Amino acid sequence: MSFHVVIGFGPAGAATARILAEQGHTVRVVTRSGRSPEPGIEHVALDATDSGRLTDLARGAAALHSCAAPPYHQWVGQWPPLASSLCAAAEATGAVLVMLGNLYGYGPVDGPLTEELPLAATGPKGRVRAAVWEQARSLHEQGRIRAVEVRASDFFGPGVTDGGHLAGRVVPPLLRGKPVTTLGDPNAPHSWTYLPDVARTLAEVAGEERAWGRAWHVPTQPALSVGEMVDRLAARAGTGPVAVRRLPSAVVGVASLVSPLLRELKEVRYQFDRPFIVDSSAYEKAFAAAATPVDEQVEATVDWWRERLATGG
């Protein structure tokens, strides 16, 4: 067993840290505020942009798992220093840099998304995410670090509370049999990546040398529209059918005047206005991996939300 450092303790960071601990690894989690220890996991308070202190905390680590992200509306200013610090710590310690990425860097694409597509985003958030990976990839090719990026589509599942697609703005009203609202076309096919599959992939690539030096898509089930996913969730909850309403563009425009999140989402609205389909076959073939069956995803998500709401979460 080995020592792993996880940067960030949002849904993906927490799930990754816990699966690593379950596998018997020693895990240190770095967040700005720190937390109380939990079985197998040490929590340390540190600003991860401080590369010197991050390097000290990561001495002896087999891998650095980059699962943190700046506030959504501050990506352009805050991602570069965070990425540079992570690369510096990876170079100084020799730890594999395992980066959790997303699909923004591709920009709008006609057809399924594959890892071979160029990073051709035109919006600021897509460009900065592409630049973060290109920095790490370049250092990897120079032999200065070992790096790999794991890219996920919109993820959902136990532990995911933020976001409006299949999380906080959708599941709680659905459990009450109330209509839900969504951005974009509720009938457009969309790929959803299940959070436990994200964590398993981040844990796996850390120890797979043949995975390093490139990006991989997390194993993801075939695309289903928001409407189809809501139907499945409601059926599991026993509250269906539940109406799915598209949030009118005029309402989004007015709300964006006071909501930084909605303003920023304009850049990636294309992901929900038309089909957005991820091809994860490369990873599945290379590592004999498979996404969790959709019925299991839905069952675990509904059950987790019911327990959370029942306990006042």
Q: Indicate if 58 and 198 belong to the same structural domain.
A: yes
Q: Indicate if 168 and 299 belong to the same structural domain.
A: yes
Q: Indicate if 185 and 213 belong to the same structural domain.
A: no
Q: Indicate if 85 and 35 belong to the same structural domain.
A: yes
Q: Indicate if 62 and 207 belong to the same structural domain.
A: yes
Q: Indicate if 144 and 175 belong to the same structural domain.
A: no
Average pLDDT over residues 119-135: 96
Q: What angle do the packed helices 75-93 and 124-141 form, to 10 degrees?
A: 10
Whether residue 281 is contained in a domain is answered as: no
How many beta carbons lie within 10 A of that of residue 174, not counting itself?
A: 25
Q: What angle do the packed helices 195-206 and 11-22 form, to 10 degrees?
A: 60
Please name the residues in contact with 37: beta carbons below 8 A apart, sequence gap of 6 or more: 43
Q: Indicate if 122 and 265 belong to the same structural domain.
A: no
Q: Is 123 exposed, middle or buried (0-12, 13-18, 19+ CB in 10 A)?
A: middle
Residue 19 has pLDDT above 70, yes or no: yes
Whether residue 282 is contained in a domain is answered as: no
Whether residue 174 is contained in a domain is answered as: yes
pLDDT at residue 90 in the model: 98
Residue 211 has pLDDT above 80, yes or no: yes
- Cα–Cα distance, 239 to 233 (Å, whole number): 9
pLDDT at residue 236 in the model: 96
Whether residue 284 is contained in a domain is answered as: no
Residue with tokens 């969504």, as numbered in its chain: 182
Question: Contacts by 125-129 with C-beta closer than 8 Å and gap 24+?
Answer: 125/72, 125/75, 125/76, 125/264, 125/267, 125/268, 126/267, 126/268, 128/75, 128/76, 128/79, 128/80, 129/75, 129/79, 129/101, 129/102, 129/104, 129/105
Residue 309 has pLDDT above 70, yes or no: yes
Mean pLDDT for the chain overall: 93
pLDDT at residue 84 in the model: 98
Q: Indicate if 150 and 167 belong to the same structural domain.
A: no
Please name the residues in contact with 258: beta carbons below 8 A apart, sequence gap of 6 or more: none
Q: What angle do CA 53, 59, 63 make, to 5 degrees?
A: 105
pLDDT band of residue 25 (cuts 50, 70, 90) is very high
- Give the pLDDT confidence of 259-270 residue by residue, as tens digits: 666 666 778 888
Identify which has the larger pLDDT, 248 or 126: 126
Whether residue 288 is contained in a domain is answered as: no
Q: Indicate if 184 and 199 belong to the same structural domain.
A: no
Computed over its alpha carbons, how large is the radius of gyration of the chain? 19
- Give the pLDDT confidence of 252-299 residue by residue, as tens digits: 555 555 566 666 677 888 898 999 999 999 999 999 999 999 999 999
pLDDT at residue 162 in the model: 81
Q: Indicate if 7 and 54 belong to the same structural domain.
A: yes
pLDDT at residue 261 in the model: 62
Please name the residues in contact with 280: beta carbons below 8 A apart, sequence gap of 6 or more: 217, 218, 219, 220, 291
Residue 196's domain is classified under what CATH number? 3.40.50.720
Q: Indicate if 196 and 264 belong to the same structural domain.
A: no
Whether residue 285 is contained in a domain is answered as: no
Whether residue 139 is contained in a domain is answered as: yes
Q: Indicate if 89 and 230 belong to the same structural domain.
A: no
| Furthest-apart CA atoms within the chain: distance in Å | 55
Whether residue 287 is contained in a domain is answered as: no
Question: 3-class SS at 181?
Answer: strand
Helix (H) or strand (E) holding 274: none
Residue 244 has pLDDT above 70, yes or no: yes
Select from 217, 251, 266 the last residue of a domain.
217
- Give the pLDDT confidence of 138-176 residue by residue, as tens digits: 999 999 999 999 999 999 999 999 865 788 889 999 999
Identify which has the larger pLDDT, 241 or 200: 200
Print the domain residue range for 235.
158-191+222-276+293-310
H helices present in the chain, as ranges: 11-22, 51-57, 75-93, 124-141, 171-175, 195-206, 226-237, 249-255, 260-265, 270-273, 281-287, 294-310
pLDDT band of residue 16 (cuts 50, 70, 90) is very high
pTM of the entire structure?
Answer: 0.94
Residue 305's domain is classified under what CATH number? 3.90.25
| Of residues 85, 67, 69, 189, the one with CA closest to residue 135 | 85
Query: Total structural domains in the chain?
Result: 2
Question: 3-class SS at 278?
Answer: strand
